């Protein structure tokens, strides 16, 4: 059961001991960021720094000439990841005996939305989400597909993990977020994620929905939440609030958009990659879910990609849907990686890693992911090292 940890280039570059420290955990693989959103991160053991502020979404390598003359293009990183930061870190990690896979964040980019507002998701009230590019817009889709291919297939990478390859919605840990005053729940998050940009309005119309009437229906559906009334979870709650016909119509458009983008991005990566290059998606088996773990149809995505990385911070409950779908897709060899938080200060449980991994394996997981070696304390890393000794095949 191979284990990999997520790492940023700035965790490694400038710290001569970092790569060996990660290898000494007992890992065989790392998932190294090559394109990432804005963040503020600790580097608890780095000899030159303790805090890294990545001011905007950026590629952590020099972008190539494919972007020349294009309006939408990736932003190079600033001093937090200068030059070819990915290649520098990948070289050090590979020298320590670790297999490197790239980690590519796609439809999550606040700077893109700030500089090109028309690319952003627009909710039913007319508010724009600059962090969330609308994945239905042709120009945005072209940008995301090309970014996936370029950022995934970096020198030294043996595979990739594509994050946020689907709809992004309202949920976003933005700077000084002040959005928790009204619990939206599963249904409210979906309604707040529905996009009404010109492209999506045309898409709803093609699906037989009047976009103005739909926007009004969404606003009406959200009123009980603003009043603080309790709302059930799951898709039945969306149907109850919005109406089954309206709800189904939105899914016709949005599910098709996400599926075709995922297919195009994976194809582009494979076309650019050498033989045997592994392509995984960070995924949620509920198609209407939005965010970093894109909502997917499990059988469909396992017929497109080589596997998925599944969030398990709240438990392994999302794994069985993918395990069951492996047979339907004829993809018994597909990777099903359970992603566990191991930073106790961020809600992770490094002390239960061994038991958690064994439980995940019982539910069909073939690999595990650890979030995140660069952010964890020394105590957390000690617990990870001990936990991996109890995971068959992890070391």
Question: Could you list the pLDDT tens digit for every one of the 395 residues in the chain?
Answer: 899 999 999 999 999 999 999 999 999 999 999 999 999 999 999 999 999 999 999 999 999 999 999 999 999 999 999 999 999 999 999 999 999 999 999 999 999 999 999 999 999 999 999 999 999 999 999 999 999 999 999 999 999 999 999 999 998 766 667 677 788 899 999 999 999 999 999 999 999 999 999 999 999 999 999 999 988 889 999 999 999 999 999 999 999 999 999 999 999 999 999 999 999 999 999 999 999 999 999 999 999 999 999 999 999 999 999 999 998 777 789 999 999 999 999 999 999 999 999 999 999 999 999 999 999 999 999 999 999 998 877 66
pLDDT at 265: 98
Say if residues 302 and 332 touch (Cβ distance below 8 Å): no
d(CA 393, CA 376): 23
Distance of alpha carbon 178 from the chain centroid: 22
pLDDT at 277: 98
Would you call 75 exposed, middle or buried from its count of C-beta atoms within 10 A (0-12, 13-18, 19+)?
middle
pLDDT at 395: 62
d(CA 9, CA 83): 11
Say if residues 190 and 238 touch (Cβ distance below 8 Å): yes
d(CA 123, CA 197): 8
Would you call 191 exposed, middle or buried from its count of C-beta atoms within 10 A (0-12, 13-18, 19+)?
buried
Which residues on adjacent β-strands are paired with residue 222?
Answer: none
Q: At what angle do helices 353-362 and 378-388 cross, to 10 degrees?
A: 40
pLDDT at 173: 65
pLDDT at 383: 97
pLDDT at 390: 85
DSSP state of 352: G
Say if residues 169 and 192 touch (Cβ distance below 8 Å): yes
Q: What distances in angstroms separate CA 62 from CA 68, 91, 198, one per listed residue?
A: 13, 16, 33
Cα dihedral 222, 224, 230, 236 sign: negative
Please tell me the pTM assigned to this model. 0.96
DSSP state of 211: H
Per DSSP, helices labelled H in the chain are 9-12, 18-23, 85-95, 110-115, 138-152, 185-193, 198-206, 211-226, 235-242, 244-272, 298-302, 319-328, 353-362, 378-388
d(CA 102, CA 34): 6
For the chain, which domains are there?
Answer: 3-119+129-179+254-388 (3.20.20.80)
pLDDT at 49: 95
Distance of alpha carbon 156 from the chain centroid: 22
């Amino acid at each position: 059961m191979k284990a990999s940890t997520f790492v940023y280039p700035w965790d490694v570059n400038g710290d001569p001991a970092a790569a060996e420290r990660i290898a000494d955990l007992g890992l065989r693989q790392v998932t190294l960021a090559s394109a990432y959103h804005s963040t503020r991160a600790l580097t608890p053991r780095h000899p030159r720094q303790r805090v890294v502020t990545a001011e905007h979404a950026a590629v952590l390598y020099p972008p190539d000439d494919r972007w020349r003359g294009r309006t939408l293009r990736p932003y190079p990183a600033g001093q937090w990841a200068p030059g070819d930061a990915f290649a520098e870190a990948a070289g050090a990690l590979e020298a320590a005996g670790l297999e490197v896979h790239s980690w590519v964040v796609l439809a999550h980019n606040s700077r893109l939305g700030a500089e090109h507002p028309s690319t952003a998701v627009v909710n039913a009230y007319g508010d724009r989400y600059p962090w969330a590019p609308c994945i239905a817009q042709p120009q945005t889709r072209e940008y995301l597909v090309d970014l996936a291919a370029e950022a995934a297939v970096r020198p030294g990478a043996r595979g990739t993990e594509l994050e946020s390859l689907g709809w992004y919605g309202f949920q976003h840990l933005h700077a000084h977020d002040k959005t928790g005053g009204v619990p939206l729940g599963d249904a409210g998050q979906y309604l707040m994620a529905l996009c009404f940009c010109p492209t999506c309005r045309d898409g709803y119309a093609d699906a037989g929905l009047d976009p103005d009437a739909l926007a009004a229906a969404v606003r009406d559906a959200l009123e009980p939440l603003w009043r603080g009334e309790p709302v059930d979870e799951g898709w039945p709650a969306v149907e109850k609030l919005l109406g089954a016909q309206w709800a189904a119509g939105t899914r016709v458009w949005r599910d098709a958009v996400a599926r075709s983008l995922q297919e195009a991005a994976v194809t582009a990566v494979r076309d650019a990659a050498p033989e045997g290059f592994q392509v995984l998606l960070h995924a949620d088996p509920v198609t209407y879910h939005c965010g970093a773990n894109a909502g997917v149809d499990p059988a469909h995505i396992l017929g497109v990609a080589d596997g998925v990385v599944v969030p398990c911070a709240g438990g392994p409950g999302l794994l069985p849907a993918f395990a069951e779908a492996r047979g339907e897709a004829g993809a018994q060899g597909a990777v099903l990686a359970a992603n566990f938080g191991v930073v106790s200060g961020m809600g992770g449980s490094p002390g239960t890693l061994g038991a958690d991994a064994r439980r995940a394996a019982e539910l069909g997981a073939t690999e595990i992911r650890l979030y995140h070696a660069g952010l964890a304390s020394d105590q957390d890393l000690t617990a990870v090292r001990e936990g991996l000794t109890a995971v068959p095949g992890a070391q």
